[in-house]
Structure 1
Amino acid sequence: MKSTGIFSTINSVEAFKAYIQSYGDKAYGMFFFIQFMSVIIAPIPSNISAVVGGNVFGLWQSFFISLLAIISGSVVVFILARKLGKPFTEKFVSPKISEKYEKLISSKRGELLVGILFLLPFLPDDAIGFLVGLSTMRLGRYFMIMILTRPWEILAASALGSSNIIIPWWGWGIIAILVLYVVKNGSRLENKFVSAFKEG
Structure 2
Amino acid sequence: MAATVVVLTVPIPDVEELRALVEQAGWWGPVGFVAGYAALTLAPVPKNVLSIAAGVLFGFGPGLVIVYCAALLGASVAFWLGRALGRDAVEKFTGTRVEKVDAVLSKRGFPAVVGVRLVPVLPFTAINYSAGLTALGWWPYFLGTMLGILPGTVSFLALGAFGLEFGWPAQVATAALGVLTLAGLIVAMRSRRRNRTPDV
Partner of 2:40: 38
Change (3 A) 1:32 1:192: same
Gaps of 5+ in 2: none
Q: Which has the larger radius of gyration?
A: 2
Gaps of 5+ in 1: none
Partners in 2 of 1:16 and 1:91 — Cα distance? 40
Partners in 2 of 1:16 and 1:89 — Cα distance? 40
Partner of 1:112: 111
Q: Is the 8 A contact 1:21 1:27 kept in 2?
A: no
Partners in 2 of 1:168 and 1:62 — Cα distance? 15
- What CA RMSD, in Å, does the superposition of the two structures yield over aligned residues? 3.9
- Give the CA deviation at 1:81: 1.2
Change (3 A) 1:94 1:190: same
Identify the match of residue 29 of structure 1 among 28, 31, 39: 31
Q: Is the 8 A contact 1:122 1:190 kept in 2?
A: yes
Greater displacement, 60-69 / 189-198: 189-198
Counterpart amino acid of residue 103 in structure 2: K
Alignment of 1:130-149 (within 5 A): 130-149=129-148
Q: Is the 8 A contact 1:50 1:158 kept in 2?
A: yes
Alignment of 1:63-142 (within 5 A): 63-95=64-96, 97-98=97-98, 100-106=100-106, 108-121=107-120, 123-142=122-141
Q: Is the 8 A contact 1:20 1:27 kept in 2?
A: no
Q: Is the 8 A contact 1:53 1:62 kept in 2?
A: yes
- Give the CA deviation at 1:197: 9.1
Structure 1 residue matching 2:81: 3-state secondary structure: helix
Q: Is the 8 A contact 2:109 2:140 kept in 1?
A: no
Structure 2 residue matching 1:147: 3-state secondary structure: helix
Partner of 1:190: 188
- Give the CA deviation at 1:77: 0.7
Counterpart amino acid of residue 83 in structure 1: A
Q: Is the 8 A contact 1:62 1:158 kept in 2?
A: yes
Change (3 A) 1:136 1:143: same
Q: Is the 8 A contact 1:105 1:131 kept in 2?
A: no
TM normalised by structure 1 equals 0.69
Partners in 2 of 1:109 and 1:126 — Cα distance? 20
Partners in 2 of 1:128 and 1:15 — Cα distance? 36
Counterpart amino acid of residue 128 in structure 2: G
Partners in 2 of 1:196 and 1:20 — Cα distance? 48
Partners in 1 of 2:14 and 2:120 — Cα distance? 22
Change (3 A) 1:20 1:114: farther
Paired positions, count: 180
Partners in 2 of 1:168 and 1:74 — Cα distance? 28
Partners in 2 of 1:60 and 1:69 — Cα distance? 14
Partners in 2 of 1:112 and 1:118 — Cα distance? 10
